[in-house]
Amino acid sequence: MKNLEHIETSMFVFVLDDTAPENFNQHTPYDAMVSVMLGHYQHLMLEDIEGQWTGPAEIREFPMPILLNFDLDAKLVAAISSAKETSLSYINNICAKSLFFTEYGKDFMKPYKLHPDAFVQMSLQLAYWRLHGRPAPTYETASTRQFHAGRTETMRSCTAESVDWVQTMLNPKAKTAEKRRKLVAAVDCHNRLMKECQKNEGIDRHMLGLYIVALESGMDIPDLFLDPSFTKSGGGGNFVLSTSTVGYTPVFGGVAAMIPNGYGCFYSMVSDRLNFFITSFKASEETSVEAFSEALSLSLCDMQQVLVVPTSSL
């Protein structure tokens, strides 16, 4: 118990592994803004000192690491082996791909007064429909950290406005002016809903609370949570697209998709490029990180063409 306490109360856990990634797609993904902020701070420091240490030359005394000895019986050894096997089965089922979209970055969207995050979310909607021919219930993380102990709410990016815009984008007879107008409407809707979620005016955490209260009280599960439409719309952690922005820094990472036939798509936005981390499951015959990546790149280029056309020629 004391050994576990040492581990759980430590500031860092440094893992020495005998494996090495062959390319960037094999790096360890991570989630949570704390990690992103830490990585970004380190990145800024390295840039500031140009990779050369500028601190004091003296090395202060530091206690050497001490080996923590565990007493393991046969049952625990078997459990560790089983856990490792289970973990590897999950790891080996995940497809991950990094996409660096370099045609433009967040600076491109500023003159058009389009919020970069909402803009990227629309590109994900267009990419999924382009690839699968239907809309995807989408989770985007909305931060509620302005509240004490606040964490997240679900921003549902697949709206009536985004669906209307996607259908227009994929309609070869639609005029550019109509595509631009509906893009602005979809982005505005997304921004409004995001602000509501950040103010704790979303629905998913409230629904989760009601569900947990019912379980803890020994009540029957309310019919709402058993209705097929609840699951199809993403309820209960069944979102087809699981997404989140990790900020406006070069640092980015991601996690696995929520459902077997879904995608995880996490991204950061810098001045001249967009960084994406896309995941799916190898066992799925429906999804493909390679195909989604291509559809996403094409969608971002199409959105650029809609905006760069001079207003006078629309």
Q: How far, in Å, are 19, 155, 203, 218, 289 from residue 206 at the CA level? A: 43, 13, 5, 19, 32
Contacts of 25 (CB under 8 A, 6+ apart): 96, 97, 98
Q: Among this protein's residues, is 27 annotated catalytic?
A: yes
Cα separation, 115 vs 104, whole angstroms = 14
> Cα 275–277–283 angle (5° rounding)?
155
How many other C-beta atoms lie within 10 A of the C-beta of residue 106? 20
150 in Cβ contact with 283 (< 8 Å)? no
Phi, psi at 242, each rounded to 5°: -110, 115
Residues with Cβ < 8 Å from 135, sequence gap 6 or more? 125, 128, 129, 158, 162, 163, 166
Reduce the DSSP state of residue 266 to 3 states and report it: strand
Distance CA 307, CA 314 (A): 11
| CA atoms of 194 and 162, how far apart (whole Å) | 14
Rounded Cα distance between 96 and 280, Å, is: 7
Sole residue written with tokens 């981390």: 277
Reported in sequence order, the residue ranges of the chain that DSSP labels E, i.e. its strands, are: 94-101, 138-143, 152-156, 241-245, 263-270, 273-281
Choosing from 6, 27, 43, 206, the catalytic residue is 27
- Just list the catalytic residues: 27
